[in-house]
Amino acid sequence: MTMNSVGRPTAPNAAANGAEGFASLTGARGLLQDEPLLFELGGWDKTGVDFDAPDHDASDLGDLVRAAPIGLAGLSEPETMRHYVRLSQKNHAIDLALYPLGSCTMKHNPRLNEKMARLAGFADLHPLQPVSTTQGALELIDRLAHWLKTLTGMPAVAMTPKAGAHGELCGLLCIRAAHEAAGHGHRRRVLVPTSAHGTNPATAAFVGYSVEEIAQTADGRVDLADLEAKLGPDVAAIMVTNPNTCGLFERDVIEIARITHAHGAYFYCDGANFNAIVGKVRPGDLGVDAMHINLHKTFSTPHGGGGPGAGPVVLSAALAPFAPAPWVVHGPDGLTLVEEAKDQAAQAFGRMCAFQGQMGMFVRAYAYMRSHGSDGLRQVAEDAVLNANYIKAMLSAEMTPAFPDGPCMHEALFDDRWLDGTGVSTLDFAKAMIDEGFHPMTMYFPLVVHGAMLIEPTETESKRELDRFCEALLALARAAKAGDAQRFTGAPYLAPLSRLDETLAARKPKLTWRPEHDATPAAE
């Protein structure tokens, strides 16, 4: 008898037969333990660590001396470890299954990158060390900058921006500085397509520009006629994502650049989707003047969590003189940093952060480049596009592609027409995916597609995983069309928590824990 036939069936549906409505007495689900908040665990009078009594009193702190306990739970080391392991089991993760968020590129982060970033020579650096003691780090930044310029066909790069939106800010500040230096400070308008990432208009407004939308054609691309009609002597720049947020390549991108430049404006390209064309297309050859690169999307540095991130910005020759300090240069005594606004940095608009950027992300991105090589990076784009088109082809049997004609790029976009008459919404369908063990795709974005479902598999998924994902979605789609609405409208049923009132949670978040005997509401 094999191990698989001993004790219990291996198929989840077989194990669940007859168990509908079953709830354990402890709140646990089999091997998944129920876990309260850290504060609810109590243990206020104990600690897992012994500290020696202080040698001095705290009289020099004056009225800053704590008058009451700090209010932290006291846990032993095993209790602490188990608490966080149990919490981790309640989250979906890229190490567990495919993470189909479109526009966010949740790809596998190779452990080699992590190992390199933890090398003492990089991990233990201090930003105020003398330059003579950081030559290796500066050399890595310089080499990474070289390859970013090579891959994009751009002559300059600002390395310090900490994320995509920070990079957008950097690029637009370069553009503003260039216009002001040319006596064109009256250019105060920025044109942005309707399908753009929300950070594009937000960043333009933050810089002080007014924002105007560019219309979209029926096939999901920039409307050239509308763009040209809105270009004028007061336009500072356009901000176009390519490939765009609908997962499509802007076929007219060279013409977009030409007419933009003809009107004296600059072409800012949102490089969030560079992973779809890296090694295949150089944005500099398309007429781009500035483009941020999300290292977490194209070069596999960790994503999310509020940072730290990295969003280097490549710049055309016209904008290079206005790049923010610092940057690395080769001198007679080795590598050094240009940090003062004089000589070659005389026109720099300033600086984006206090120091030289995010070293850990630079190491990870460089390790990824070196381990892949030029042919491997080209294959990254090819496989990302192949995987997305495979998903589009597989799911089109039951779901409706938003733009069915022709291939997509790195992500497949579906609308909700196929759900008409089922009583199931995009949100319901996404929640039911949780019961099948998958994180939902990006929902309701881009806004130009009704009930949008945006799926990005990335290049790191195998055909086996793609098939497993597609089979789950196809089964759910057939169930919705067969009238099994109850499966969806109450989902998720098998997650640690059932469906939340997300509107109430957003408007009245409980940001402070209080004991149950405290009747004061946690949020107003």
The answer for residues whose C-beta is within 8 angstroms of residue 375's C-beta and 6 or more apart is 279
Q: What amino acid is encoded at 96 in this protein?
A: L
Beta strands in 24-158 (DSSP E): 156-158
pLDDT band with cut points at 50, 70 and 90 for residue 20 = low
Residue 99 pLDDT: 93
Work out the angle at residue 330's Cα, subtended by the Cα atoms of residues 328 and 335, and round it to the nearest 5 degrees: 65
pLDDT, average across residues 350-363:
92
Residue 206 pLDDT: 97
Between the alpha carbon of residue 214 and those of residues 217, 225, 467, the distances in Å are 10, 10, 37
Poorest-confidence range of 11-20, 142-151, 439-448, 488-497? Answer: 11-20
Task: Determine the number of helices (DSSP H) and then strands (DSSP E) in the chain.
Answer: 15, 13
How many CB atoms within 10 Å of residue 271? 29
Domain definitions of the chain by residue range: 113-368, 379-490
Between the alpha carbon of residue 200 and those of residues 168, 255, 344, 408, 463, the distances in Å are 7, 21, 30, 22, 34
Determine the CATH number of domain 379-490: 3.90.1150.10
Q: Indicate the class that CATH gives domain 113-368.
A: alpha beta
> What are the tens digits of pLDDT across the range 439-466?
999 999 999 999 999 999 999 999 999 9
> What are the tens digits of pLDDT across the range 30-83?
778 888 888 887 777 777 777 788 888 877 888 888 888 777 788 888 888 999
pLDDT, average across residues 383-403:
98
Position 247 pLDDT exceeds 80? yes
Tell me the whole-structure pTM to 2 decimals: 0.88
Residue linked to tokens 């096939």: 219
Determine if the peptide bond prior to 326 is cis (ω within 30°). Answer: yes
Give yes or no for a contact between 204 and 196, defined as CB atoms under 8 angstroms apart.
no
- Provide the percentage of residues in the chain whose pLDDT is more than 90: 71
Residue 524 pLDDT: 43
pLDDT band with cut points at 50, 70 and 90 for residue 25 = low
Structure tokens at 24: 């354990």
Structure tokens at 422: 């089922």
Kind and range of the H or E element at 521? none
> What is the Cα–Cα distance from 178 to 172, expressed in whole angstroms?
10
Sheet with 210-214, strands from edge to edge, namely 156-158, 313-315, 290-292, 266-270, 235-241, 189-193, 210-214
Give burial (CB, 10 Å; 0-12/13-18/19+) of 294: buried
> What are the tens digits of pLDDT across the range 257-306?
999 999 999 999 999 999 999 999 999 999 999 999 999 999 999 876 55
